[in-house]
Amino acid sequence: MDNPFKKRTTEHFRDDVAFLSVVAPEPITRFLEKHAQNSDLYDRPVVICGTPGSGKTTIGRTFSFRSVQTLLQMRGNREKDYTELVAALANCGVLADDRPLILGCRLQLESDYRDFWECPYPESLKAGLMTSLLQARSVIAWLRQLEEAGYSLDDVQAVARQDAEATVASIGGTAAAQLLKRACEVESALYSIVAALLPPPVEQLEEDATKAYQPFDVIEAFRVRGDDGVEFNLRPLAIFDDAHELHQEQYKELTRWLTRREIRVARWLLTRLDVLSPDEVLSAASTDPEATQPHTGMKTRRELLFVRLQGKEGREKRKFRGMARSMADRYLRHISVFQQRGITSFVSLLEHELPTVSDATVRQLEDESAKVQRRLNVSDSRRQSLEQSVNNYLQSSRQPDSDLERNTDVFHAMLQILMYRYRKRTKGPSLFPEVDDPEPSRPVAANAEVFESANLVLLHRNKRPYYYGIDRIADVATENAETFLRLAGELVERSATQLTRGKPGLLKPRDQNHILRDEADRIMREWNFPWHPQVRHLVDALGKRCRETTLQPNGWLRPNSYGVPQEEYDKLTASRQDLRSVLKFGIAWNAFDIRPKYKCKDRLWCILELGGVAILKHGLSLSQGNFIEGSIAELARIVEEKP
Amino acid sequence: MNLQYVLRKLAEVMSWDDDTAQAEFARIELMSRMKYDGYQDFLAGARFSERLLDWVQQFGALEDRKTAYRFVRDQLIFISTAEMHHLIGLSWPEFFRPEILRFVADSYGIADYQVRVHQEASNALGKLQRKCLFIELSDGARIDVFRRANPGTISNEQIVTTSRFNREKWDDLLKDLQDELGDAEARFEFVFLLDDFTASGTSLLRFVDGKWKGKLRRFWDESRQFAGSHLSDDVRIHVHHYLATQRAREAVLQRHAERAAEGNWFDAEFTFGMVLPQSIRMEETENADVLDLISRHFDASIAPEKHVRESGCESMMFGYGDSRLPVILDHNTPNNTIPLLWATSSGNQDVHQMRPLFPRRQRHDVLDDSLDKQGQVLNG
Amino acid sequence: MMRNRGRWDDCVQHWGDAAIAFVQDFFTDADRKVILVCGGGFDPRSRIVADHVADACAKDTHCVILREDVPLTDDTLVKRADDNTNAIQARFDNHQVERINMVSGDQAVTGGRTAVQRVQKHLESGTTDLIVDFSAMSIGVAFPLVRLLLEYAEQKPGGQTVNLHLFAIDEPLTDGAITSIASDRATPVHGFGGQLGLDASRGAAKLWLPQLGLGESVPEVLGRVYNWLEPDAVCPVIPFAPSRPRLGDDLIWAFRDEFESTWQVDSRDIVYAHDSYPLDLYRTILRIDDIRQQVFRDVGGSMTILSPFGRKMLAIGAMLAAIDRDFPVVRSEAVGYRMDQDKIDDAEQVRMVHLWLHGEAYPQDNSKEADQ
């Protein structure tokens, strides 16, 4: 079955129309719109940062002129609704009325650019060669896209900065055809340097490669005459994707170069976090907008705009849920099995009510509760009051699955947790329970945490499903579109299988749960990036510890993270090179995330939060906040173990 | 038929749960599309998935169906048209030309790597290519494909599309050769005998009832009269199979040596495009469940008793000559393959009625010598 | 369609005993002055070719051992590499070990670039034969190295014919026993960028020929190359391996998501290549390219891009095609290795292969046309 979810990233939709039909407008609205309002998006260099699969390239491609042009042509399409996407782009100043305003091009910063760094030339020359190639290719991309869109180069003219007359000649003039010709000459000369088996000696470098070439300093806009004879201006935007492929020093050079006052062209850098050295990644993971960008030494707010495609707070999480839902619906429409049956909503495939617990299970749980009561010497009256507390919680809570009938198992699991908590707060079981029903040091009551602990205990002990329903599926993707699509894709395939079998396509919570967990396990087995064996080993070791803690009878903690004292973390020195690399690649590939300076128990902690895939695999809580207290030494020891 | 419908029925017949159905649907859909639907004896509306549905239903017990399905899924070796054509394409550059080149080098007393820069040797090599004759031993050899794979190198006049041909054809071939080279003394220096598959080597050469039989003997009987006239005195014979089993390779080499020891025989070079390892044979130790299934679903009437006996074993149950192969070729299934995969029988109340997954065209019986003489032997 | 002749269509090749006999016969000639470039790797195949060359002409050979330092590699493998390097050194009086840092601090793969610069220093006039032992070198090093030596030989330094020989040990099981930790980026192999990304080739229809391999993460790693290349069509190369007749089926299944959803591969798109005959893949690639060049001649041209993986014989075939037609070769290079010891010890049939790429075996008036 051709399952578009398995394409995972929207980039795999090669055709622009197909691509745009699956692009969700939410990331644009969510991450970029506010910056467009004060024209930060185009006046300052913008660094857009995220893990692989977080949607950087989708944004880059959506902002390219080709997509905008296609979108404008597609607006009238009745089958597909592009209104939201058009509105999102309009709010970002990409288009207005029927015309594009921005001439965006996306360039991948592939190894050609990185290779300049390996040439035996002075650093300033290497940096110059790199920026010349970037500029030449941007010019080529802008003009070629205009050509593809049907504009004749005769109708295109570069608008030069007023004080730049002297340098106009160096870029080939302002006529588009000449501009393009010059850009191609420069590209060819520069390419022959990086592509050579042996780098040519400095003195043999071609003039085309070394002569001053700074179109970004000269071009302010492109003046284009449309079919209707009306002239309009387009603001050029260069989007440099995969900037992490550059050498750190090149990246520094590039950001410095992009912040130069002379540049009139809008410019974005899309990058994974790990363009930085391990230390720098670890501090950049903080989203503090005022933070000094360690890799550039520049104050973020003033000189460049830093956008991270991931939010931390619950509010952000909810936004991702909406985005995931809309993305899944768009993908689903491409699958014939669903199309034929008029199924257009991903959520409609997901059953969210659990079946009533079987009598046998109820009896078993009743026995367990009785045993716990006996073992802990909890009086009947005390038990009754605890039961009351659980019932009150279940009735009043707005948990989607808090229906009492279907929660007999949860009821017992919660009760057992409360009995353990009660006993702990009365300093152990009394020798004379009949006469002794002490009050706990602090009140023991059912609440959301107890409810979640009970659910997780039941997940592990009774195979009660926990990971099901659109929200949890979106949450485990930890705001990574690719991970979400991959997980959702397995569910969709199962639903298609059921339809093929003549059954309803609705997936039971039990099936959702196990399909997602199996897929998580597969994703981790398929990891292959630098340090992945160590990353996997670390994730598994921490996941196991978290699970053990989660299953403690008093259900006190539901950790999915590991904390080390901030001061220890700050001293992560070169002697822990391996650990630093493991952390760096683990973060880059979404295995975990770092939250520094988290205040808990009057102490600052640096928290290593497991990624959604690891949480799924190990059956952990999706809520933030609980972590295992640990140390750098322990992390280092785990990393040193042979995976 | 709608694939979805067939898959639904298959899931019912196999009692698959959803997990299994999801994986197996994907596998059947993919493998049919990529390979199995290319089986040339499938008809429209009854390709792999439909055949599979029919095939598994001949087994009454669910456990048997599961064993049968696993066998197909995990052990079947299906050589597709593309794979076979690829093996055909390898023959000239990797097997035939190097031999000719070595021959030239030896003739001029130079090393093989010197031929290309040795003017005379290089010229001789070019001529020698024309003095090669290519004869197919069965229609499976697809000699037309062989020719097309080597355009500009091998001409139509060097190709013989039947293993048996009369003096007139021999004369035509020689005349074309001499005309083209402008050399009235020219003779064929190399004969390449081509076939697609040998599983046991039996149809190529075998010793039965005190007599040597097989395609090689026949070739020798019929062509040696042309030695000296059409073929050069020291013509070199090269027998090439695109595909063979390890067992067949050993048997062929051994029987050829045995026959040669008796005298009045020819030297030959034997090559094989790809040799299937011994490990593909369905041995008892690793396949007890499948072999048990086979033994319970066999109808001995699929092959006449006499012929089975001549193959040197008592039953066709595990394929001709007890070959026990799980091999399907795109254009037909060898009889050495386990009959459960290919046989059709009428059965009766005591005997199982066999239904094929890959129906085999039964054109003749392997050891029927009269048919054998007509050169229609397929595999064996 | 009659295809254009490839430069190595009729390459001099020797296998097994014939290859050994060739070394013993050819290199014992006292007039030979040889440079042998081989890998001092953990691969058990590292020493075989060097041993044979040493037996034939140790005293007339300058042996350059490339020791590829790959950061994320098991200690046991590093120890093996040390042992192999020492053993090779011991066979030649005139030897030099060149340590190549395969991966720079920022995880960029720079080994190929470094290797050619280092080897170039050893090229001295008066050399009659250059030997590259492909067995224990990574693709990222071996490809640019062969290209460098070929370009050098073609220049006829000092007006003298220089032979270029390529040797490798063909042992599929060993290839299967080594798994790599991939770089997280896809890059052209150094010197094998072709015209990729240049405006001049922007309109070319991109055909990608990835070589498939088994291993849970292989689809993921090849997916990285796919994402980067964004090809217009994909024709996966499936090894035809006599030792594993079901390998092709296993590969099709392993890449099911790619075949069905991402790459959209049809059964007719599959390119089969025999894993023992390097020129088989070479010829097939050239044939495909010929057809596409003709089809797309007037509509922007065609660009064939290769991604060899794993098996040495197939990698050699891909390399020769890439050199012959200047095809880009794009890979996610290894930044670490792990070896399955059990599989290594199972290794049985080891066969040496010799391909004579350039020199006196071919008519010299047109050195680029092998045996026309």
Confidence band, pLDDT 50/70/90 cuts, at residue A111: confident
Asked if pLDDT for residue C1 goes beyond 60, the answer is no
Asked if pLDDT for residue A283 goes beyond 60, the answer is no
Nearest to C272 among B38, B86, B280 (CB): B86
Confidence band, pLDDT 50/70/90 cuts, at residue A278: very low
Asked if pLDDT for residue A373 goes beyond 50, the answer is yes
Q: How far off is chain A from B2, nearest CA to CA, in Å?
A: 11
What percent of chain B has a predicted confidence (pLDDT) above 70? 95
Residue C372 is predicted with a pLDDT of: 38
Region A300-318: mean pLDDT is 67
Residue A14 is predicted with a pLDDT of: 65
Nearest to B152 among C2, C248, C249 (CB): C2
Considering only alpha carbons, which residue of chain B is nearest residue C238? Answer: B83
Distance CA B58, CA B347 (A): 12
Dihedral of CA atoms B210, B214, B220, B222 in degrees, nearest 10, equals 100
What b/e string do you get for C14-30 counting C-beta neighbours within 10 Å, with b at 16 or more? bbeeebbebbeebbeee
Region A126-130: mean pLDDT is 94
Asked if pLDDT for residue C286 goes beyond 50, the answer is yes
Reference B217, options B376, B375, B380; nearest CA is B375
Residue B208 token pair:
């039965």
Asked if pLDDT for residue A313 goes beyond 60, the answer is no
CA distances from B160 to B23, B192, B193, B222, B234 (A): 48, 10, 10, 15, 21
Range from A422-426, B159-163, B303-307 carrying the lowest mean pLDDT: B303-307
Q: How far off is chain B from C339, nearest CA to CA, in Å?
A: 25
Identify the H or E element spanning A123. Answer: helix A123-148
Question: How many helices and strands (H and E) does chain B possess?
Answer: 14, 9
Asked if pLDDT for residue A133 goes beyond 60, the answer is yes
pLDDT in tens, A448-474: 999 999 999 999 999 999 999 999 999
Q: How far off is chain C from B348, nearest CA to CA, in Å?
A: 36
pLDDT in tens, C36-59: 999 998 877 789 999 999 999 988
Asked if pLDDT for residue B376 goes beyond 70, the answer is no
Q: In the predicted model, what is the mean pLDDT of chain C?
A: 89
Q: Are the C-beta atoms of residues C227 and C214 closer than 8 Å to each other?
A: no
Confidence band, pLDDT 50/70/90 cuts, at residue A302: low
Region A106-126: mean pLDDT is 91
Confidence band, pLDDT 50/70/90 cuts, at residue C287: very high
Confidence band, pLDDT 50/70/90 cuts, at residue A3: confident
DSSP assignment of A70-81, as one string?
Answer: HHHHHTT-SSS-
Region A175-183: mean pLDDT is 96
Cα-flanking dihedrals φ and ψ of residue A596, to 5°?
Answer: -80, 165
Range list of β-strands (E), A338-381: none
Nearest to C270 among B31, B82, B87 (CB): B82
Chains that touch B (3 or more CB pairs under 8 A): A, C
Positive or negative CA dihedral for A58, A63, A64, A67?
A: positive
Q: What is the ipTM of this complex?
A: 0.91
Asked if pLDDT for residue C366 goes beyond 60, the answer is no
Chains that touch A (3 or more CB pairs under 8 A): B, C
Identify the H or E element spanning B320. Answer: none
Distance CA B156, CA B160 (A): 8
Confidence band, pLDDT 50/70/90 cuts, at residue A435: low
Region A45-73: mean pLDDT is 88
Q: Which of residues C247 and B369 earns the better pLDDT score? A: C247
Cβ neighbors of A507 (< 8 A, separation 6 or more) are: A349, A350, A351, A491, A494, A495, A498, A515
CB atoms closer than 10 angstroms to residue C93: 11
Q: How far off is chain A from B333, nearest CA to CA, in Å?
A: 29
Region A248-268: mean pLDDT is 90
Cα-flanking dihedrals φ and ψ of residue A594, to 5°?
Answer: -115, 130
Identify the H or E element spanning A280. Answer: helix A278-284
Considering only alpha carbons, which residue of chain B is nearest residue A493? Answer: B22
Distance CA A241, CA B296 (A): 64
Region C304-318: mean pLDDT is 91
Q: Which of residues A638 and A16 earns the better pLDDT score? A: A638
Q: In the predicted model, what is the mean pLDDT of chain A?
A: 87
pLDDT in tens, A594-607: 888 888 888 999 99
Q: How far off is chain C from A526, nearest CA to CA, in Å?
A: 4
Residue pointed to by tokens 């799924």: A616
> Could you tell me which residues are beta bridge partners of residue C239?
C273
Residue A57 is predicted with a pLDDT of: 87
Region A138-152: mean pLDDT is 95
pLDDT in tens, C197-231: 899 898 899 999 999 988 888 898 899 899 889 89
Reference B13, options B64, B48, B85; nearest CA is B64
Residue C285 is predicted with a pLDDT of: 96
Residue A414 is predicted with a pLDDT of: 95
pLDDT in tens, A149-170: 999 999 999 999 888 888 899 9
Region C285-291: mean pLDDT is 94
User: Cβ contact (<8 Å) for A500 and B18?
Assistant: no
Asked if pLDDT for residue B108 goes beyond 50, the answer is yes
Residues of B in contact with C23 (CB under 8 A): none
CA angle A348, A353, A355 (to 5 degrees): 130
Asked if pLDDT for residue A431 goes beyond 60, the answer is no
Q: Which of residues B268 and C242 earns the better pLDDT score? A: B268
Nearest to C335 among A108, A137, A530 (CB): A530
Q: Tell me how long chain B is.
A: 380
User: Cβ contact (<8 Å) for C12 and B82?
Assistant: no
Asked if pLDDT for residue A589 goes beyond 80, the answer is yes
DSSP A262: T
Residues of A in contact with C108 (CB under 8 A): 111, 114, 117, 245, 247
Residue B365 is predicted with a pLDDT of: 38
- Chain C interface mutation, best of A197, A275, A640, highest count of C Cβ atoms under 10 Å: A197
Asked if pLDDT for residue B343 goes beyond 90, the answer is yes
Asked if pLDDT for residue B146 goes beyond 90, the answer is yes
Chains that touch C (3 or more CB pairs under 8 A): A, B
Confidence band, pLDDT 50/70/90 cuts, at residue A293: very low
Asked if pLDDT for residue A191 goes beyond 60, the answer is yes
Range from A294-308, C175-189, C226-240 carrying the lowest mean pLDDT: A294-308
Confidence band, pLDDT 50/70/90 cuts, at residue C347: low
Residue B3 token pair:
């694939």
User: Cβ contact (<8 Å) for C183 and A530?
Assistant: yes
Range from A112-116, C52-56, C87-91 carrying the lowest mean pLDDT: A112-116
Positive or negative CA dihedral for B369, B370, B373, B378?
A: negative
Confidence band, pLDDT 50/70/90 cuts, at residue A190: very high
